[in-house]
């Protein structure tokens, strides 16, 4: 099963706003009587930026993909068996979810500010569940094992 988490769309509101500004500049240039070629350049540029921004708002970029065999964060794939821990850390850009790997310098950070509101907790739970499954851990229910299930 594959789960995809996308960036918070609000991070990209400035793109269509810039397109609208360019369209406004085109209107002003037309109103003051500049040559049509200049006005058309601003109209085309503003329209392209506006449409590009709206497409990004409709379908924000992917932050990470959870797969059965591993995780892909911004194009970097890591197998679940290589991930040793999931937690939160404070960075210079705010709080982030960290995926610690067997090699300390290869830890992967997912800034919480990039995620859509409400996705953080579900992402952390999904990460822990998949990590536990990959390493063969189960959640202890507080009961003693059956006699047929010897301790390791």
Instruction: Judge whether 96 lies within some domain.
Output: yes
Say if residue 70 is in the same domain as residue 124. yes
pLDDT-derived band at 19, boundaries 50, 70, 90: very high
As a whole number, the mean pLDDT across the chain is 85
- Structural domain count of the chain: 2
Instruction: Judge whether 146 lies within some domain.
Output: no
Instruction: Judge whether 148 lies within some domain.
Output: no
pLDDT at position 84 is 82
Say if residue 130 is in the same domain as residue 66. yes
DSSP 8-class letter at 79? E
Say if residue 46 is in the same domain as residue 69. no
Q: Name the residue range of residue 16's domain.
A: 8-58
Instruction: Judge whether 3 lies within some domain.
Output: no
Distances from the Cα of 131 to the Cαs of 40, 67, 73, 126, 136, in angstroms? Answer: 55, 11, 15, 8, 9
Say if residue 67 is in the same domain as residue 109. yes
Question: Residues 53-89: pLDDT tens digits?
Answer: 999 999 998 888 888 888 888 778 888 888 888 888 8
CATH of the domain at 105: 2.30.29.30
Distances from the Cα of 141 to the Cαs of 63, 106, 122, 138, 144, in angstroms? Answer: 33, 33, 21, 9, 9
Say if residue 76 is in the same domain as residue 43. no
Instruction: Judge whether 110 lies within some domain.
Output: yes
Say if residue 52 is in the same domain as residue 68. no
Say if residue 87 is in the same domain as residue 22. no
pLDDT at position 123 is 87
Instruction: Judge whether 151 lies within some domain.
Output: no
């Amino acid at each position: 099963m594959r789960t995809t988490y996308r960036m918070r769309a609000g991070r990209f509101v400035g793109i269509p706003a810039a397109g609208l500004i360019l369209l406004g500049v085109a209107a002003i240039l037309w109103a003051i009587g500049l040559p049509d070629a200049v006005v058309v350049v601003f109209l085309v540029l503003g329209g392209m930026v506006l449409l590009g921004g709206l497409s990004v708002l409709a379908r924000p970029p992917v932050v990470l993909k959870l797969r059965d065999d591993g995780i892909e964060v911004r194009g970097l794939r890591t197998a679940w068996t290589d991930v040793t821990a999931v937690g939160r850390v404070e960075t210079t850009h705010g709080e982030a979810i960290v995926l610690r790997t067997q090699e300390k310098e290869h830890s992967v950070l997912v800034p919480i500010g990039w995620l859509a509101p409400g996705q953080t907790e579900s992402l952390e739970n999904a990460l822990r569940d998949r990590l536990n499954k990959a390493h063969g851990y189960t959640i202890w229910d507080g009961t003693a094992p059956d006699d047929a299930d010897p301790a390791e």
